[in-house]
């Protein structure tokens, strides 16, 4: 656990520095760098600059570790530890000036593939809110110094969050999923950042979260936050092109899984 704690502290320090850079660039005005899988799937100059900062700091601190980031080439490394990084999760929010975005940094052991990796440590930092969420394997999840815990079921139903992909062709199916899930929901939120949605599940601000088609860097750190806060995280259709990530306290996670497994 000592190693995991040190990795979490490194992730937290770098996430803070990277988040402050993202905030400065946001205040200076955001420049669109390119579109990726669709016109809606954008990358800003700040995404690229922030990821380069994170990658450089990690290389300085732990040369030989692997790297899997949203905006640069993967490197398997040779230490068995890989850093899974989303420099600005919630990129569209960031581009529009909506403050719901976060730097997400996770350290994983083994093959850098969801479901095969062992998450060791993670940090999610929301610079516009000044909130840092951290977790280490076996060490719990925290917001600052506060220990986090997921919620238990309430008679009013579950406060759930979800998200939608950048491909318009997937929206009908995702909206059909939302219709099914509302059977157990008191309400639904769509904040635009998977890392923050997962951090909020860990913090008890949401009862559950589900989304299809996330990339490994969107959820690597947030999934560890939920697990270390006593929650459950799983992926349905893991071998498909758009696996469904489900996270929540144990009861809500299991009810979501039952509903969404029927649909699959």
Q: Give the interface segment with ligand LIP, choosing from 1-9, 15-23, 87-95, 174-182 (CB under 6 A).
A: 87-95
Interface with ligand LIP (CB under 6 A), residue from 44, 82, 91, 136:
91
DSSP summary character for residue 239: T
Is residue 209 within 8 Å of 248, Cβ to Cβ?
Answer: yes
User: How close are the terminal C-alpha atoms of the chain, in Å?
Assistant: 37
Interface with ligand LIP (CB under 6 A), residue from 67, 117, 125, 164:
164
Ligand-binding annotation for 89, yes or no, is yes
Is residue 114 within 8 Å of 217, Cβ to Cβ?
Answer: no
228 in contact with ligand LIP (CB under 6 A)? no
Is residue 207 within 8 Å of 249, Cβ to Cβ?
Answer: yes
Is residue 11 within 8 Å of 47, Cβ to Cβ?
Answer: no
Residue list 55-74, contact with ligand LIP (CB under 6 A): 70
Identify the helix (H) or strand (E) that includes residue 51. Answer: helix 45-61
In the complex, least distance from residue 63 CB atom to ligand LIP, rounded to whole angstroms? 27
125 in contact with ligand LIP (CB under 6 A)? no
Q: Give the interface segment with ligand LIP, choosing from 55-63, 71-79, 83-91, 223-231 (CB under 6 A).
A: 83-91
Residue list 136-155, contact with ligand LIP (CB under 6 A): none
- φ, ψ for residue 167, nearest 5 deg: -90, 110
Cα angle 59-36-104, degrees, rounded to a multiple of 5 = 40
Between the alpha carbon of residue 122 and those of residues 31, 34, 89, 137, 163, the distances in Å are: 28, 28, 14, 9, 21
Interface with ligand LIP (CB under 6 A), residue from 51, 86, 174, 207:
86
Ligand-binding annotation for 70, yes or no, is yes
Interface with ligand LIP (CB under 6 A), residue from 148, 194, 252, 260:
194
Ligand-binding annotation for 86, yes or no, is yes
In the annotated binding site, the residues are 70, 86, 88-89, 218
What residue ranges bind ligand LIP (CB under 6 A)?
A: 70, 86, 89-91, 163-166, 192-194, 211, 218
- Positions at the binding site for Mg(2+): 70, 86, 88-89, 218
């Amino acid at each position: 656990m000592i190693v995991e704690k040190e990795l979490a502290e490194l992730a937290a320090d770098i996430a803070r520095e990277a988040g402050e850079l993202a905030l400065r660039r946001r205040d200076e005005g955001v420049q669109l760098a390119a579109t990726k899988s669709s016109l809606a799937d954008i990358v800003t100059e700040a995404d690229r600059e922030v990821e380069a900062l994170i990658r450089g700091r990690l290389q300085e601190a732990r040369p030989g570790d692997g790297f899997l980031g949203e905006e640069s080439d993967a490197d398997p490394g040779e230490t068995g530890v890989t850093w899974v990084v989303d420099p600005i999760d919630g990129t569209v929010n960031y581009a529009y000036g909506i403050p719901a975005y976060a730097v997400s940094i996770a350290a994983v052991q083994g093959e850098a593939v969801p479901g095969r990796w062992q998450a060791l440590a993670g940090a999610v930092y929301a610079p516009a809110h000044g909130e840092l969420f951290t977790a280490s394997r076996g060490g719990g999840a925290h917001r600052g110094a506060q220990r986090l815990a997921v919620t238990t079921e309430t008679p009013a139903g579950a406060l759930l969050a979800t998200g939608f992909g950048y491909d318009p062709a997937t929206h009908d199916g995702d909206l059909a999923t939302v219709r099914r899930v509302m059977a157990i929901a008191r309400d639904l939120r769509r904040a635009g950042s998977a890392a923050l949605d997962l951090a909020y599940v860990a913090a008890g601000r949401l009862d559950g979260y589900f989304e299809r088609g996330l990339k490994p860097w969107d959820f690597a750190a947030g999934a560890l936050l939920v697990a270390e806060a006593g929650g459950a995280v799983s992926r349905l259709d893991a071998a498909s092109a758009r696996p469904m990530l489900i996270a929540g306290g144990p009861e809500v996670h299991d009810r979501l899984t039952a509903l969404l497994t029927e649909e699959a």
